[in-house]
Amino acid sequence: MPITVEKVKEFLQRATEVLKENREYLTELDSAIGDADHGINMDRGFQAIMSRFPTFEGKDAGTILKTAGMALVSTVGGAGGPLYGTAFMQAGMALQGKYEFTLEDLVKALEAALKGIMNLGKSKPGEKTMIDAIAPAIEALKKALANGADPVKALEETTRAAEEGMKATIPMIAQKGRASYLGERSIGHQDPGATSSYLLFRTMLEIAQKQGS
Ligand code: ADP
Ligand code: MG
């Protein structure tokens, strides 16, 4: 069953709620190794996406995601806004013109998003960032699809990998962003960006489960 543009909109709406619910949690994580604003940033950014919602009417998934990315870039400062903004814009470009798409297309969009983050952040896996949740999640999704998993099962495995990747940031030494200023003192803390990325994958799964597809 294809993923429709309606599901993309539902994802953005639900993600806005989830990030609002986790605003304090994300900010607390960022207060340990950053500047205590990640929850505030994500909440503000997704509220901005919601304010663009009326313009999504009749638009394809690519245009919607690009608009969402631009909303993030233009309303959220620091590292998180431009990185997530780029990710959504790249995903949007990969889905340009599509009103419905497959999980294979979703893999391509996620890969484009990850590449965008890595290029802008000059970062790679293992540096205690959002990449440590996103990269293993994409690998798990590809593996699940290659093994013929149904969509919900595939997204369950994706979400599990994102969660494991998020937890794997705890013992890492931060090498990018503000947390890197702490050096070894960043050990023992979960990365806020990896946590918000996990929450976004979990939201994707939730939407898929709800649709029963
Ligand atoms: P800021 O660090 O500017 O306050 P946020 O608090 O919103 O921005 O986001 C911090 C998160 O951004 C980190 O937890 C990390 O996951 C991610 N991040 C920071 N720098 C990079 C980078 N160079 N590459 C990838 N992700 C990064
Ligand atoms: Mg911060």
Tell me what pLDDT residue 212 has.
53
Q: Which pTM was predicted?
A: 0.97
Counting ligands in written order, the one closest to the CA of 196 is 1
Asked if residues 43 and 18 have their Cβ atoms less than 8 Å apart, the reply is no
Helix (H, G, I), strand (E, B) or coil at 24: helix
Q: Name residues whose C-beta falls within 8 Å of residue 201's C-beta, 6 or more positions apart in sequence.
A: 133, 137, 155, 158, 159, 162
Instruction: Give the position, in ligand 1's atom list, of the atom nearest the Cα of 121.
Output: 23
Residues 99, 174: Cα–Cα separation, whole Å: 39
Q: Which residues make beta-bridge pairs with 195?
A: none
Where does the pLDDT of residue 28 fall: very low under 50, low under 70, confident under 90, or very high at 90 and above? very high
Q: How many domains does the chain have?
A: 1
Helix (H, G, I), strand (E, B) or coil at 101: strand
Structure tokens at 203: 């939201």
Residue 104 CB neighbour total at 10 angstroms? 11
* pLDDT (mean) for 2-17: 97
Sequence length of the chain is 213
* pLDDT (mean) for 31-52: 97
Residues 135, 121: Cα–Cα separation, whole Å: 14
> Ligand 1: residues whose CB is within 6 Å?
30, 34-35, 37-38, 41, 78-80, 83, 117, 121, 123, 129-131, 176-178, 191-194
Tell me what pLDDT residue 213 has.
47
Q: Is the pLDDT of residue 75 over 70?
A: yes
Tell me what pLDDT residue 44 has.
97
Q: Identify which of 194, 84, 210, 88 has the alpha carbon closest to the alpha carbon of residue 134.
A: 194
Residue spans of alpha helices (H) in the chain: 5-21, 23-33, 38-51, 61-75, 80-94, 103-121, 131-146, 151-168, 192-211
Measured in Å, residue 149 CA sits from the centre of ligand 1 at: 33
Q: Provide the residue range defining the domain that includes 142.
A: 3-212
CATH number at residue 170: 1.25.40.340
Structure-token match 């009749």, residue found: 58
Structure-token match 């919900």, residue found: 152
* pLDDT (mean) for 176-198: 96
Asked if residues 190 and 29 have their Cβ atoms less than 8 Å apart, the reply is yes
Structure tokens at 75: 């309303």
